[in-house]
Amino acid sequence: MLQRCVFKTMVQRFHSGRRDTWRFPAALLYGHGAATHRHSSTDLPDKEQTLIVVKPDGVQRRLVGQIVQRFEQRGFKLVGLKMLRVSEDVLSQHYCQLTSKPFYPSLLYYMMSAPVVVMVWEGHKVIQTSRVMVGHTNPAEAQAGTVRGDFSFHVSRNVVHASDSLEGAQREIQLWFQGKELLNWDCWDQTMTCEE
């Protein structure tokens, strides 16, 4: 069925002269949902990736769908998603720069208090853009319209994590995901969201 549908679309595009916009779906080339290659942000600028985590308060308050929707509607591509209870080992590596902070023990306790939903989003300048979308660390200073500005008011319960740099994103993605958990797939609207 999928093959028939794809073939029909190819034929339609061929006859309408839109061959330039056609890309063969990765799912058919590589098998359903297959991850065959993990892009590095450094060799393909528009394949930049970032780690977004819906923290325990976001999960408890049933905000997962709304947070996913914001990244989808912005046009970014979801390449990895899972729900888990994070271990102290992963958390201590994730927050290794904060170990000396007074709030560190309570941060770990809070992050392990319930499941988290962890995602990798991909696209042009996704790291910088998602930091803007997420808003200031302290929700009291976060702009309305940002995730933290719309859904939280205290720094200890700020709903979501977003990587803050290219180096940080690469380190965090490798920490939370195995390479095979990230899917390399073609978004059919790619030419509508980014110039190639």
Which residues here bind ligand UDP, judged by CB under 6 A?
98, 103, 107, 137, 155-156, 158, 161, 164
Q: Which is nearer to Mg ion, 105 or 179 (CB)?
A: 105
Name the minimum Å distance from CB 192 to ligand UDP: 31
Binder of residue 103, out of ligand UDP, Mg ion, none (CB less than 5 to 8 A by kind): ligand UDP
Binding mask 127-166 for Mg ion (x = CB under 5 A): -------------------------------------x--
Residue 95 per-residue DSSP state: T
Contacting residues for 127 by C-beta, under 8 A, at least 6 apart: 48, 50, 162, 163, 164, 165, 166, 169
- Give the count of beta carbons closer than 10 Å to the beta carbon of residue 37: 11
Q: How far apart are CA 153 and CA 21, in angstroms?
A: 45
161 is catalytic: yes
Contacting residues for 132 by C-beta, under 8 A, at least 6 apart: 146
| Catalytic center residues | 161
Q: Which residues bind Mg ion (CB under 5 A)?
A: 164
